[in-house]
Amino acid sequence: MCCVHFSLLVYPGIPPVIPNIYRMLQEAGMPVYTLAEIARHLEGELHGAPEIPIRDTAEIERAEAGHITFLANPKYRPRLKTTRASAIIIDDRAGVTPEIPYIKVADAYYGFMQTVVLFHPPAKLLEEGAHPTAVIHETARIGKHTAIGANVYIGEGVEVGEGTQIFPNCVVLNNSRIGKNCVLYPGVTVRENTLIGDRVIIHNGAVIGSDGFGFAFHQGRYHKIPQVGRVVIEDDVEIGANVTIDRATLGDTVIKTGVKLDNLIHIAHNVVVGEHTVMAAQTGISGSTRIGRNVMIAGQVGLVGHIEIGDGAKIGAQSGVSKSVPPGETVFGYPARPIMKTHRIEAALNQLPELIKRVRTLEKQLRSLLENRDQNQ
């Protein structure tokens, strides 16, 4: 149920011409909504003037009149006093009552995301159909309402689902399958036999299905091991720019439903990443590691091969993970340890110079005592 509450608070300085401004903005073709309309969209509780026109979203420190902002992190609470926004989205974490009109929701961050989409709906950047310079194999099956940009190559036996957009200079090699309503931004490479689900977004320069790093050392030289597996990407996955996901040596490398990968991540052969796991930039996952669902991996993390990361685990930035992590555990550091243990070790290391100084002082005092004892004997 939508719940919109107009508080009896009076906000000075709100002119009676607001409805006229609202109409003027609409007539000019600008996206504009009243606070009441935004509150209904968010199913939130509105406190303040319902007719204030909002023309866009903005960060709390950069917002101007006509903007709506949000507060999800108490760290930014002092900026409530200086923001020039016309309204703000908050939740119970705010811990304060703003002096400007506000909409209270269950989750301010999610509510702000919904508001951004309201003002900036996803744009279809490509014209429907195939550009004349695209090369599409005669056996490829292209769904309805697709858009294929300039210089795209689509190989033999490829399937592209309805509503998918493939931007210029992408390559999709033989027998790969791309689902419905996917977006492949410029320069994406999809190697042969790759399976991609529905509503997958792949950003510029990503390579899906490159050969795994497999070599056998024999008689003084390395011999390439054929990588004959594939990559399977399930529904609602987002893959950042310049990510590389290697095909399996045998079997599948699997990225499960809802996974979100930041830029510059490498995922090696035969890795499995569980549902709704998120990884930040410059993380590297070695071969045959299995990552559970709802795992959070911060930036520049390295995982060795053939380990398991349990469901709900969290790994701090720049950690080196050399052994399996139990479900729900938070680890940090190099080597990665339970986070409280790492903090205790670091606290002890910070005291090390002073401890060394004290030990040297004690050694000097002990030598002096021993010398005095020897002289008195």
Whether the predicted pLDDT of 3 surpasses 60: no
Whether the predicted pLDDT of 12 surpasses 50: no
Number of H helices and E strands in the chain, helices first, is: 5, 40
Active site residues: 269
Average pLDDT, the chain: 91
For position 237, which CATH number holds? Answer: 2.160.10.10
Are 175 and 68 part of one and the same domain? no
Q: What is the pLDDT of residue 31?
A: 82
Are 138 and 283 part of one and the same domain? yes
Q: Of the given ranges (22-36, 220-234, 271-285), which has the lowest mean pLDDT?
A: 22-36
Q: What is the pLDDT of residue 23?
A: 56
Are 288 and 350 part of one and the same domain? no
Q: How far apart are CA 300 and CA 290, in angstroms?
A: 18
Structural domain ending residue among the three candidates 119, 149, 184: 119
The half-sphere exposure of 138 on its side-chain side, counting CA atoms within 13 A, is 0
**Phi then psi for 54, rounded to 5 degrees?**
-115, 125
Mean pLDDT to the nearest integer, 287-312: 98
Q: How far apart are CA 355 and CA 349, in angstroms?
A: 10
Residue percentage of the chain with pLDDT more than 70: 92
Number of domains, the chain? 3
Q: What is the CA radius of gyration of the chain?
A: 29
Give SS3 for 77: helix
Q: What is the pLDDT of residue 132?
A: 97
- The amino acid that residue 41 corresponds to is H
Return the DSSP state at 320. Answer: E
Is 211 part of a structural domain of the chain?
yes
Mean pLDDT to the nearest integer, 334-340: 92
For residue 20, how many other CB atoms are within 10 A of its CB?
A: 11
Q: What is the pLDDT of residue 25?
A: 52
Q: Are strands 244-246 and 129-130 parallel, antiparallel or unpaired?
A: unpaired
Are 173 and 230 part of one and the same domain? yes
- The amino acid that residue 203 corresponds to is H
Q: What is the pLDDT of residue 154?
A: 99
Condensed to tens digits (0 to 9), the pLDDT of residues 114-165 reads 999 999 988 778 999 999 999 999 999 999 999 999 999 999 999 999 999 9
Whether the predicted pLDDT of 14 surpasses 60: no
With beta carbons less than 8 A apart as the criterion, state whether 320 and 297 touch.
no
pTM to 2 decimal places: 0.84
Are 264 and 238 part of one and the same domain? yes
Structural domain ending residue among the three candidates 99, 119, 139: 119
Q: How far apart are CA 102 and CA 183, in angstroms?
A: 35
Are 297 and 353 part of one and the same domain? no
Is 76 part of a structural domain of the chain?
yes
Are 275 and 320 part of one and the same domain? yes
Q: What is the pLDDT of residue 30?
A: 67
Are 184 and 325 part of one and the same domain? yes
Condensed to tens digits (0 to 9), the pLDDT of residues 198-253 reads 999 999 999 999 999 999 999 999 999 999 999 999 999 999 999 999 999 999 99
Return the DSSP state at 310. Answer: -
Helix ranges (DSSP H) in the chain = 18-27, 35-42, 108-119, 339-350, 352-376
Closest CA to 257 of 285, 279, 236, 228: 236
Is 6 part of a structural domain of the chain?
no
Residue percentage of the chain with pLDDT more than 90: 80
For position 27, which CATH number holds? Answer: 3.40.1390.10
Mean pLDDT to the nearest integer, 297-307: 98
**What confidence tier does 195 reach under pLDDT thresholds 50, 70, 90?**
very high
CA–CA distances in Å: residue 66 to residues 36, 83, 97, 122, 287:
14, 12, 20, 22, 51
Are 316 and 362 part of one and the same domain? no
- Full domain range(s) for residue 373: 339-377
Is 303 part of a structural domain of the chain?
yes
Is 8 part of a structural domain of the chain?
no
Distant-in-sequence, close-in-space partners of 196: CB < 8 Å, separation ≥ 6 = 176, 177, 178, 179, 182, 190, 202, 208, 233
Whether the predicted pLDDT of 184 surpasses 50: yes
Are 180 and 228 part of one and the same domain? yes
**Of residues 94 and 59, more confidently modeled:** 59
Is 138 part of a structural domain of the chain?
yes
Measured in whole angstroms, the distance separating CA 225 from the mean position of its chain's CA atoms is: 33
Are 181 and 310 part of one and the same domain? yes
Q: Please give the torsion angle defined by the CA atoms of residues 106, 41, 296 and 254, in that order, rounded to the nearest 10 degrees.
A: 140
Are 112 and 205 part of one and the same domain? no
Whether the predicted pLDDT of 56 surpasses 90: yes
Distant-in-sequence, close-in-space partners of 258: CB < 8 Å, separation ≥ 6 = 234, 235, 236, 237, 275, 276
CA geometry: angle 38, 39, 40, nearest 5 deg: 90
Q: What is the pLDDT of residue 288?
A: 98
Is 253 part of a structural domain of the chain?
yes
Is 124 part of a structural domain of the chain?
no
* Cis? peptide before 335, omega within 30° of 0: yes
